[in-house]
Structure 1
Amino acid sequence: MSSNRLIELLQPLVEALGYEFVGLEYQKNPQHGLLRIYIDGPEGVGLEDCETVSREVAAQLDVEDPIAGHYNLEVSSPGLDRPLFTPEQYAQFLGYEAKLTSFAPVDGRRKFKGELLTVEGDTVAIEVDGETYTLSFDNIAKARLVPDYDALMAERKE
């Protein structure tokens, strides 16, 4: 089962429950796979929200049975190191620091940590140590925001 098929199946369900479907990660494993779904809401999400979505998603997966074999289902908030899945999510966090890993090297590198600059068409630009790199979304294996712990600590002290 492809991740795209799982998204087609589960995104409408999560959104019908009143949550934002941030994305999913599906890790196949011959013995035990993992399906991790990220959700969010206007005020964030808590444990009860994750439990609600988990119950509904599990019921849908039991009916549709899209995943062969055993797997664990996890429903989570995106957290401080929020994963990025769609061009819209990248655009929402322009100016933020992120870590990106590419499938194929771009200018000799596969790992990028820097500021998200622009989203244009099917690419995102990231500035790393004063250099700008442009990556195709199809070439991004993984992307996450980098939490600004200094800013978070400063907010806490206020």
Structure 2
Amino acid sequence: MNKSIEQQIHIMVEPIVEEKGLELIDVEYVREGAHWYLRLYIDKDGGVDMDDCSSISHVVSEMLDRKNPIPQAYMLEVSSPGLERPLKKEEDFVRFQGSLVMVHTTSLFQGFKKFTGNLVGLINDEIVLEYNDERVAIPRILVKKAHLALDF
């Protein structure tokens, strides 16, 4: 994963996505087998549809062809973040308070690398979860990934 390319693309693409009334949730630039993929995850209230994804794909593809920020060939994919939407921005931790979330850490924290609970919020740069009437505050610096979790 190349974070600098992901950050650069995020900065370039976010205004285009917002102009269309959508939110850019995440950018991934990954190699899978012999191919590189640039994945954009977009959303809006009520969810995105194929027309939203197609529209963003078309506009972003033209812009990326003009600016050429990625040196090698890649495939552009635009989609919804799905039911397990990632939580990245501070606003996400406010918007999804009370929701069931899963947090993965980069190393053991309190003996675990995966935590599931109801999101209390982001407090003092710690993701605070509640599970079985107990709270855990996970330092954001240790977080590899945080996302909504499905409750079966």
Q: Which residue of 2 aligns with 1:63?
A: 66
1:95/1:64 CA distance change after superposition, 3 Å: same
Alignment of 1:7-156 (within 5 A): 7-28=10-31, 31-148=34-151
Q: Which residue identity does 2:49 align to in structure 1?
A: G
Percent identity of paired positions between Structure 1 and Structure 2: 34
Q: Which residue identity does 1:9 align to in structure 2?
A: M
Aligned-partner Cα distance in 2 for 1:136–1:60: 37
Q: TM-score, normalised by structure 2?
A: 0.84
Structure 2: segments with no counterpart, 5+ residues: none
Structure 1: segments with no counterpart, 5+ residues: 150-158
Q: TM-score, normalised by structure 1?
A: 0.81
RMSD of aligned alpha carbons: 2.1
